[in-house]
Amino acid sequence: MFSRLARLSRPQAIAVSAVPLATLVAVVALAPLPFAVAQPGGTADVLGEYKGKPVLTISGAPTRETKGELRMTTIVATGPQMDVRLGDVIDGWFRTDRAVMPKDSVYPDGDNVKEVEKHNLGDMRESQDSATKAALGYLRANGVDGTDKVEVKADLGKIGGPSAGLFLALGIVDKLDGDGSGGDLTGGRTIAGTGTISAKGKIGPVGGVAMKTQAAARDGATVFLVPEAECSDAEAEKPKDLQLVPVTTLASTVDSLRALEKGGKVPSC
């Protein structure tokens, strides 16, 4: 073919070469790509109900009435078996309410829908256990009596993954002890955020925080608690008037919420 192209004029050669190029572009445009497209998902107030059921049910100790909201945040991504094509990727790159991510970072366990759901729900159960241990450990360390017989059940339906851990722990602390002085951890505000938590109260990163800040603002939050390591990601698409507060441990997060309630200084990204 190259010898024949050499005998053609430049316009003729370009025209002939454009045919396979156009075919290649068309194939790429139609071919599925190894990406997932994410967007802001729902939020859930861990102090209230989710789909008609209490998120937190605590027994073994008296609980307190709370004001304000502690909203854990989510993202929604294209399913593990859904094809994402070039047009979807380009659209996602140019929209502030979309994010394009490698599919294996969203679904590291493969494309089997049932296996992905099982894995995510398993992560959520582990997160709930860690949140309960972290919250009760924090309360005991701060001299709160009567926590030895406390049992906690959390119900977030089919929401999976470990990223609700921090907010489940905060919800337990607020329901059992508030701010420690008779007030609410929220100060009556709607506070949103995200973060994994270990049984010892260490907060870890989760991913998707730029989308989660948008979900938080949409649902009325004025403060967003973000794992410190993800501050720059959270700032990337931060909605106007949403205050970012970096967090590293459960104890320091409670301290920041107390400072917010009193109008004091809190960390910032």
Looking up residue 198, the CATH number of its domain turns out to be 3.30.230.10
In a domain, 138, yes or no: yes
Considering the entire predicted model, what is its pTM? 0.82
In a domain, 130, yes or no: yes
In a domain, 87, yes or no: no
Contact 30, 40 (CB under 8 A): no
| Structure confidence by residue, pLDDT tens digits, 73-86 | 998 877 676 676 67
In a domain, 13, yes or no: no
pLDDT at position 27 over 80: no
In a domain, 213, yes or no: yes
Residue-level pLDDT at 22: 42
The count of domains in the chain is 1
State the residue range of the domain holding 237. 36-82+108-262
Q: How confident is the model at residue 25 (pLDDT cuts 50, 70, 90)?
A: very low
In a domain, 100, yes or no: no
Higher pLDDT, 162 or 26: 162
In a domain, 94, yes or no: no
In a domain, 97, yes or no: no
| Structure confidence by residue, pLDDT tens digits, 115-155 | 766 777 788 899 999 999 999 999 999 999 999 999 999 99
**pLDDT average, residue stretch 28-54:** 82
